[in-house]
Structure 1
Amino acid sequence: MQTETVTLNGHPFFLRRWGDPALPRLLMLHGFPEYSGAWAELAPLLADRFHCIAPDQRGYGQSWAPEGVEHYTTSKLVADMAALIGGDGPVTVLGHDWGASVAYGLAMFRPELVDRLIIVNGVHPVPFQRAMAAGGAQSEASQYINALRAPGSEDRLAADDFSRMMKLFSAKMGLDWLAGERAQAYREAWGDAKRLGAMINWYRASPLQVADPGKPIEMPDLPLDRLVVRCPHLLIWAAGDTALLPVSTEGLEEFAPDLTRVEIDGADHWVAHQKPQEVARAILDWVG
């Protein structure tokens, strides 16, 4: 693994890389509350096939973290990664959790940069918004989003050496993989309440709406014709996820006509940590 800092659209971004630079590129996009080091188990398993590139995305780890919610809209997050891909695309893009949102954004709005899309327990905006607007199980599971958006949430989560952050991270899911030196590395990546606030601004800047349980809301008006993934798309799903439920991917085929689904047993939202061998095998089998 090698590291470097690059300038994207005039701002510094920290990267981790694995594998021969001559190989096809795989852009690996982490979610909340992770950072580029989240791929340390999976990337080496893919490095014989890909040159794996994992950035700390805007607001995370050692990358640029501007103040202000307005800096964390999806269009700006996608622009960061479009600049990273540059003119040498297209590349294969892999995203997890919030990284999936950026990966979908690249595939939908910058399709010339993406030749294949891989999502690991992440969601397309339309099925996810439908599920959160319905007032059912996904609405209930997503109430943490409202808690994160609340003013001062970063101060509460950073207190007592991020003890509440660790509880949120592990809510109803396995966290055996996050201990010792790895847990300390995460705390160092989170930094302090200010850095954590930048990470949480991804939630605050998102237009997605969360209904109260049992109180459906009207589905927001979305540009459905623009939210289509034209390239081959692999969705790897661990059904033990309690933050993103299977209902949040229902109807995905409507927006991804070339979709392959692979389910991995015995894992949850953190499947890339819990079952890296199985995730790698699913990816390598699919790319051929």
Structure 2
Amino acid sequence: MHERDITLRGRRFHLREWGSGADHPTVLMLHGFPEFGGAWEGLAERLSDRFHCVAPDQRGFGQSDAPAEVEAYRITELVGDMAALIETLGGPLIVIGHDWGAAVAYGLATMRPDLVERLIILNGVHPGPFQKALATGGPQAEASQYMLYLRRDGSEERLAADNYAKLLALFAEHMDFSWMTPELRERYIAEWSRPGRLRGMVNWYRASGVKIPAPGEVLDIPDLPVDKFHVPMPHLLIWGPGDTALLPEATEGLEAYCADLTRIEIPGADHWVIHQETDAVAGHIRDWLQR
């Protein structure tokens, strides 16, 4: 693994790279909350014999720049960062996203499809089915109430208290956290402790336009238009069904937005499928990319 910094759109971004062979297709790996580029290490190591894996710390995370303003984390800004990176890497290329990284990956696929050869999502959601599931005020709305907590003023200070006890609890709530070794926990805390980073991370939630009703409250909002949010490239969705933050209903109707969708479920896994079932995830990705 090699690390380097790069300037994109006037901001510094930190990259980790594996498998830089000249004949290796490039895979851009986009982490979610509250992780960083190093979260992809296990998967990247399993793919690096055939792929050039690039995992940036996204804006607000890890060693990349973390502007304080909420407006700096609008989805157009986040997608713009990664579009600039793909252009620098000589795209189009394969894009993998998890959690919030999936939101950026879907943004690239719909706003800049010229830069995405294939799209792979691991326990992440397209904005169309996700907003539709939230709008019913049902189980997904109840599961997403934590997002409202994170949007509140001062949430970063509460998450950081007692050596990040609340953030670690949120990370693990109702899901298998056995993959988080003491050594890995210290790596995560070191990244969260960088000045301004926790505010930058939480600002992703504050800048989001996703509408979250109270449980039982129904929102009267139109479905997102298929033409504007269309995913034209081949798309693989890998899902850990034990996810308690993103429920299966948040992907219902995804086929309407996708030209070529393949779904794979990994039994026994949850939101952290990348860490829990790394070998299985790597195998499914290899098989699908050989299609």
- Superposition TM-score tier, normalisation by shorter sequence: over 0.9
Q: Which of 58-67 and 212-221 deviates more? A: 212-221
Q: Which of 220-229 and 210-219 deviates more? A: 220-229
1:65 match: 66
1:14 match: 14
Q: Which of 215-224 and 115-124 deviates more? A: 215-224
The answer on 1:208 being equivalent to 2:210 is: yes
**Unaligned 5+ runs, structure 1:** none
For residues 272 and 134 of structure 1, the distance between their equivalents in structure 2, rounded to whole angstroms, comes to 29
Q: Are residues 69 and 221 of structure 1, via their aligned partners in 2, closer, same or farther at CA, if it must alter by over 3 Å?
A: farther
Shift of 1:107: 0.7
TM-score by length of 1: 0.98
Q: Are residues 5 and 62 of structure 1, via their aligned partners in 2, closer, same or farther at CA, if it must alter by over 3 Å?
A: same
**Unaligned 5+ runs, structure 2:** none
Shift of 1:218: 1.4
For residues 49 and 123 of structure 1, the distance between their equivalents in structure 2, rounded to whole angstroms, comes to 27
What is the letter of the counterpart of residue 173 of structure 1? M
What is the letter of the counterpart of residue 71 of structure 1? A
Q: Are residues 200 and 220 of structure 1, via their aligned partners in 2, closer, same or farther at CA, if it must alter by over 3 Å?
A: farther
Q: Number of residue pairs matched?
A: 288
What is the letter of the counterpart of residue 66 of structure 2? A
2:196 match: 194
Aligned partner of 1:254 among 253, 256, 266: 256
Give CA deviations for 1:145-178 in whole Å, capped at 9, x if unaligned.
0010011100000011101110010010011111
What is the letter of the counterpart of residue 94 of structure 1? I
SS of aligned partner of 1:41: helix
For residues 96 and 25 of structure 1, the distance between their equivalents in structure 2, rounded to whole angstroms, comes to 17
For residues 172 and 195 of structure 2, the distance between their equivalents in structure 1, rounded to whole angstroms, comes to 19
Give CA deviations for 1:175-210 in whole Å, capped at 9, x if unaligned.
111121100000011115732111010011010011
Give CA deviations for 1:92-122 in whole Å, capped at 9, x if unaligned.
0000000000000001110110010000000
Is this contact kept in 2: 1:9–1:83, CA < 8 A? yes
TM-score by length of 2: 0.97
Shift of 1:53: 0.1
Is this contact kept in 2: 1:154–1:194, CA < 8 A? no
Is this contact kept in 1: 2:176–2:270, CA < 8 A? yes
SS of aligned partner of 2:227: helix
Aligned partner of 1:165 among 164, 167, 172: 167
Shift of 1:29: 0.1
Matches within 5 A, 1:1-288: 1-22=1-22, 23-86=24-87, 88-191=90-193, 194-219=196-221, 222-288=224-290
Give CA deviations for 1:129-152 in whole Å, capped at 9, x if unaligned.
001111000000000000100111
Give CA deviations for 1:46-73 in whole Å, capped at 9, x if unaligned.
1112100000000000001011100000
C-alpha RMSD over aligned residues: 1.1
For residues 218 and 116 of structure 2, the distance between their equivalents in structure 1, rounded to whole angstroms, comes to 35
Q: Which of 100-109 and 213-222 deviates more? A: 213-222
For residues 188 and 206 of structure 1, the distance between their equivalents in structure 2, rounded to whole angstroms, comes to 26
What is the letter of the counterpart of residue 140 of structure 1? E
What is the letter of the counterpart of residue 127 of structure 1? P
SS of aligned partner of 2:196: helix
Is this contact kept in 1: 2:226–2:256, CA < 8 A? no
SS of aligned partner of 1:13: strand
What is the letter of the counterpart of residue 145 of structure 2? Q
SS of aligned partner of 1:280: helix
For residues 220 and 189 of structure 2, the distance between their equivalents in structure 1, rounded to whole angstroms, comes to 39
Percent identity between the two aligned chains:
57
Is this contact kept in 2: 1:154–1:193, CA < 8 A? no
For residues 193 and 36 of structure 1, the distance between their equivalents in structure 2, rounded to whole angstroms, comes to 17
Give CA deviations for 1:256-288 in whole Å, capped at 9, x if unaligned.
120000000111000000000000011001011
